[in-house]
Each structure stands twice: as structure tokens, then as C-alpha cells.
Structure 1
């Protein structure tokens, strides 16, 4: 069974514990990760782009000039798609871009993302995260002492000090454990979990 070291904010090992093989020792399947990331990004789209067809553009009910005798090309409406200010052919309409992904696929992809970080050696587990204040300076000192550079930090319930202290740091994102997702794991080189978050993840995904 695979083991992982749990460290404190001084990077000292305080405990070594086994991790769930059902999550961290499974084969990583890139196509699963791709499917879920595409679905997540698609779900973020607003889908509000809209254009008017010739039937929706204001005006154009009357024939602009008679059919014959003027020397001009024949025209039936000033809102023809050929005219400036006319209707748009095959333009976008409001739509839902979301893609259905089965619950088991989502679950498997999240397990795969966690396994990938563990197998790459980019999973850091801390006994806890206690910052003296919400100042960015204090967070940066903590990050440097632990070895955090480009990371997603996950706690069961992130403290106010952690949320505010990391808010200004572009290379770091903080999430509560229940909001953990494949896209955010993939976006950062490191995944940093608290011991409590790891236990909760194993409880939810390790069955």
C-alpha cells in the first residue's frame, strides 16, 4: 500500500500514513480527464450570443422599389441578408453549451486527477494550515517554508486568513474540499491538502 508523508509548516515530517489505493494507485486515463475538463469549461459558457434574422430586424416590410424599369437590381426588402443592416443568416442564438457527463465518469476522473498528482510526486499533505494573520506577506512566508510555488490548496473549510492571504497570489488558488474539481487540479503543478481534507476525500471517493 502506498504511503505519504504529512508535514508541518516547517516541512518536518510529523506522520507517515497509508493512502487509499482505490484513489491514488489507479491507472491514469487521459481521455477521462479530457472529457471532464471540456465539460467543465463548456458549462461555464453563458451562451447569450444572439443575432436577428431577416424576420426579426425592424422594418423592411415594403418593397424598396418596383420590380422592373429602374435599372437597379431587384429587391424585395431592405432587411435582406445581402443588405447592410439586414438580417443575419445562420447567426448565433442563445443556447446551453453544457455537456452531460455521467456521475461515475466524473468521479473516476477526479480520482484520476488525484492519482496523477500523487504519482508525479506533486501531492503535499500538511497537518494543518494556521496563519498568524490574513496578510499576503504571512501567506508567502508560509508558502516558501512548505515549498509551495504553483499550487491548488484544499482544506475542509479554509480559514479566513488563508483565503484573504492567498487572494493576491496568482500562482495559488484555495478551495474547500467539497468544491474540489478536475479542472482546478489540472491547472496547477502542485496539489496541497490538509490532513483533514485528505481524510474527507478518501471517505467520499475511496469506497
Structure 2
């Protein structure tokens, strides 16, 4: 499959061949959703916690005698039914991470790239290198593609100038090829992939 090779200013430089197995698949939204759910679950901290009856402060003494007061019987002041008491069946620290096979994660990436490619949102860039780290220059270059969120996938390492420029640019994220992921691809309006990143991406998703 052929795609246009562009500059960072969205000027056409020629054609380039891309792998059909990565950019030409029929959309499987169910697989993409599974990978996105796996990603989102993995980043959840799981540090939520409430105190049980044994952890709240307070006396273990019976607040009043069992009979004759007209009140419901109470064992201590820390019961779950009392104000300031413990919480029954509350959340505890745990991992939200779920298991997902590596082949499914790779397949999710392929389908996400294929969907975006079919929508015309994936662009192959000849080079992401900039002469100097200047956010205004990067924003001006990216505005030639349109308005929205940009996800830029560079080669093995990100060019330092574009990395520094993107730090202050709104809705712009630059990652090395190892940092490419389904969630950011789906959540972006434009995916710019450097020419150097293509063979590395093919190798990663093989």
C-alpha cells in the first residue's frame, strides 16, 4: 500500500510504501476497546482505602447498658452504624490490572492504526528534526495539518529539539516508537509517524 511522504510542514515529497498488515486491516473495534480497557486499568493507582471497625479511633467500651435505655443495643462506639464508626466492605488497596495476551495488544495497535489511516489521520513524515527547540515553529508547522490533538511517533529516540518544542505545545505529544500505544492513537486527531519509525513499528508489531 502506498502513502504520501510529507514534510513536517505538510508539503508533499513523494510516495512511500506502508505495510498492509498494519495500516490496511478492516476495523475491529472490539479488539481496540479491549486494549484501551487494559491500558486504562493498568494506570489506575488502586490506593483507595477506608477504615474498618478495627482501624478507627475510639473506645471499645459499651456506650450504654444493654437493656432499659430504650436505645438500640450497641457493642461499641466504632460500629459501622454509628457516626464516626468504621466502614463495612469498603475499598482496600489493590491492583486493577487485567491480563491481556501480547498478540491481542499488537493486534489492537494494528487495528487502531488501520482505522486512523482509513480516516486520513495518519501521515508519514520524512523527518521530525527541527533546527532549534522553538514551540512557535512547531505549532506553525502542525497548523498546516489542521487543528486538534497531535500524536507524533519518532524513531528509536526522539529528536531533542522537537521534544523540547512539544513540551509547551498544547495537545501535542511526541514519543519514540516504543511509546506508541492504542489509547493515544485513538484519542488523537492526527498521527504523524516519522520515516525512521516505520521499520521499527513493523518489527514491533510483527
| 2:117 corresponding residue in structure 1 | 118
Distance 1:87 1:204 in 2: 50
Shift of 1:45: 0.8
Q: Kindly report which structure 2 residues correspond to 1:86-101, keeping only aligned pairs within 5 A, or say none.
A: 86-101=85-100
| 2:58 corresponding residue in structure 1 | 59
Greater CA drift, 78-87 or 57-66 = 57-66
Give a deviation string over 1:146-169, Cα, whole Å, max 9, x none. Answer: x25331011012112111111122
Greater CA drift, 11-20 or 22-31 = 11-20
Q: Report how many residues are paired.
A: 204
Instruction: Say if 2:80 is the partner of 1:76.
Output: no
Instruction: Say whether the 8 Å CA contact 2:152–2:174 is kept in structure 1.
Output: yes
Q: Structure 2 regions of 5+ residues with no counterpart? A: none
Shift of 1:89: 1.1
Distance 2:59 2:92 in 1: 22
Distance 2:188 2:96 in 1: 25
Distance change (3 Å), C-alpha of 1:64 and 1:129 = same
After TM superposition, the score normalised by the length of structure 1 is 0.92
After TM superposition, the score normalised by the length of structure 2 is 0.92
Secondary structure of the corresponding residue to residue 166 of structure 1: helix
Instruction: Say whether the 8 Å CA contact 1:123–1:192 is kept in structure 2.
Output: yes
Instruction: Say if 2:21 is the partner of 1:36.
Output: no
Instruction: Say if 2:162 is the partner of 1:162.
Output: yes
